[in-house]
């Protein structure tokens, strides 16, 4: 463990720790709330900053990342900030080229086609050299937040990153990546292990830089069935939690709460609840009561309003939030959407969502 794990001291004192308390299972006066993709294109000020800028150039500018992370907090009383970045910076750190193609999304110029292509990847990644710009963005943002709310760091999980690296971009079936799991199980594990190691160092580096919580995005869990998830996703999700915690201890860094968000993985909720994360994030396709029943009492749940509910009139958003809070209960719970905000959403409706969570949870806690 090299010098990059010595964290810059002198961060401002945290004024609102509701999100962290809920993540650790402590009592809160109101239910904390944040939104996936809260720094995003639904905000005109975001589009203005990003205009004419290459997406990954923006990711590599600590100053711009900091500005974009802070924008939603200037508008809404959110209980957490999440650093503006992208999960595909990890494949870039492994030496792959990814470009953002307008109208198409992230595209790999040379995806992995054959098992031999694994040899082109960097086998030893110095995360500070390759991803130091993310660490700088986190440190700068942590200072700029002035203790208003905690800052969340994140990474994509190994299977999700592997699927992008083989598909070369988004896909509705993930057939190329899944075919590797069936045709080349050994090579698949080799790639997943390599990714897990880099992700672990990357997450530890984020905490050293000032991240106060971490979220692992297994966004493509829904493309796997229970068996493949058990073989190719869950072991690495578990390994990352364990390795991050032991490296944080070793480096005398804070043991920050960790969140696992495996989209569409209801079939694995019980296992995810016991995979070493303090918080299990949920998409919108499961009933709160059912998620509670499956995950037990020892983890905090996060989620899971259908993002499209934000297209509803504001009063309706309030009703849906109230119902969601009644389903989950207001404690050991972090309100969020079941996926990210969409670019055409009305910021006022995002504000209505945040305020409804605070108002209804306070009301329920009082009575």
To which H or E segment does residue 304 belong?
Answer: strand 300-305
- The confidence score (pLDDT) of residue 252 equals 97
Whether the ω angle into residue 304 lies within 30 degrees of 0, i.e. cis, is yes
- The confidence score (pLDDT) of residue 258 equals 99
Spans of all domains in the chain: 30-366
To which H or E segment does residue 305 belong?
Answer: strand 300-305
- The confidence score (pLDDT) of residue 6 equals 46
Which tokens is 318 given?
Answer: 């309030």
Burial class for 329, CB neighbours closer than 10 Å (0-12, 13-18, 19+): middle
Active-site residue, selected from the candidate residues 21, 42, 142, 164: 164
CB hemisphere CA count around 70 (13 angstroms): 18
Active-site annotation holds for 202: no
Other Cβ atoms within 10 Å of 95 Cβ, number = 12
Active-site residue, selected from the candidate residues 24, 75, 86, 362: 86
Low-confidence ranges of the chain (pLDDT < 70): 1-9
CA distance 316 to 324: 12
Of 84, 79, 86, 51, which is closest to residue 67 (Cα–Cα)?
84
Active-site residue, selected from the candidate residues 50, 75, 193, 362: 50
Q: Where are the alpha helices (DSSP H) in the chain?
A: 18-23, 44-50, 55-59, 62-75, 89-93, 127-144, 158-167, 175-183, 185-209, 226-228, 234-250, 269-273, 288-295, 314-328, 347-366
Q: How far apart are the first and last CA of the chain?
A: 50
- The confidence score (pLDDT) of residue 3 equals 40
Instruction: Classify domain 30-366 at the CATH topology level.
Output: TIM Barrel (3.20.20)
Active-site annotation holds for 79: no
Of 302, 312, 336, 322, which is closest to residue 367 (Cα–Cα)?
322
- The confidence score (pLDDT) of residue 8 equals 55
Active-site residue, selected from the candidate residues 17, 21, 37, 332: 37
pLDDT one-digit tens code per residue, 135-183: 999 999 999 999 999 999 999 999 999 999 999 999 999 999 999 999 9
Tokens 């760091």 sit at which residue? 153
Q: Taking the model in full, what pTM does it have?
A: 0.97
CA distance 88 to 203: 14
Share of the chain above pLDDT 70, in %: 98
pLDDT one-digit tens code per residue, 182-192: 999 999 999 99
Active-site residue, selected from the candidate residues 24, 41, 75, 292: 41
Active-site annotation holds for 41: yes
Task: For strands 151-156 and 81-82, give the pairing.
Answer: parallel
CA distance 196 to 13: 32
- The confidence score (pLDDT) of residue 9 equals 65
């Amino acid at each position: 463990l090299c010098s990059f794990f010595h964290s810059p001291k002198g961060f401002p004192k945290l004024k609102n720790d509701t999100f962290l308390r809920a993540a650790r299972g402590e009592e809160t006066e109101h239910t904390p709330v944040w939104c996936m993709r809260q720094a995003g294109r639904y905000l005109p000020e975001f589009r203005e900053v990003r205009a004419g800028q290459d997406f990954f150039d923006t990711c590599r500018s600590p100053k711009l990342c900091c500005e974009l992370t802070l924008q939603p907090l200037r508008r809404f009383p959110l209980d957490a900030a999440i650093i503006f970045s992208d999960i595909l910076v990890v494949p870039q750190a492994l030496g792959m080229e990814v470009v953002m193609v307008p109208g198409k999304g992230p595209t790999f110029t040379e995806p992995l086609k054959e098992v031999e292509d694994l040899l082109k990847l960097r086998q030893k990644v110095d995360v500070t050299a390759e991803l130091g710009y993310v660490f700088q963005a986190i440190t700068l943002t942590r200072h700029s937040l002035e203790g208003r709310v905690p800052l969340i760091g994140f990474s994509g999980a190994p299977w999700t990153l592997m699927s992008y690296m083989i598909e070369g971009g988004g896909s509705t079936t993930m057939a190329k990546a899944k075919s590797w799991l069936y045709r080349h199980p050994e090579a698949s594990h080799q790639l997943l292990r390599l990714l897990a190691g880099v992700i672990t160092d990357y997450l530890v580096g984020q905490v050293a830089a000032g991240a106060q919580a971490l979220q692992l995005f297994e966004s493509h869990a829904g493309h796997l069935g229970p068996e493949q998830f058990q073989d190719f996703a869950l072991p690495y999700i578990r390994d990352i939690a364990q390795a991050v915690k032991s490296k944080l201890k070793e480096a005398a860094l804070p043991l920050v709460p960790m969140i696992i968000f495996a989209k569409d993985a209801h079939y694995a909720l019980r296992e995810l609840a016991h995979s070493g994360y303090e918080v299990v994030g949920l998409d919108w396709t499961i009933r709160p009561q059912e998620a509670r029943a499956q995950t037990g009492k020892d983890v905090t749940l996060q989620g899971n309003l259908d993002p499209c509910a934000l297209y509803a009139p504001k009063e309706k958003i309030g009703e849906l939030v109230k119902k969601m809070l009644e389903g989950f209960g207001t404690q050991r719970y972090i309100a969020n959407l079941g996926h990210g905000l969409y670019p055409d959403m009305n910021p006022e409706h995002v504000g209505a969502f945040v305020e409804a969570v605070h108002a209804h949870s306070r009301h329920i806690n009082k009575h």
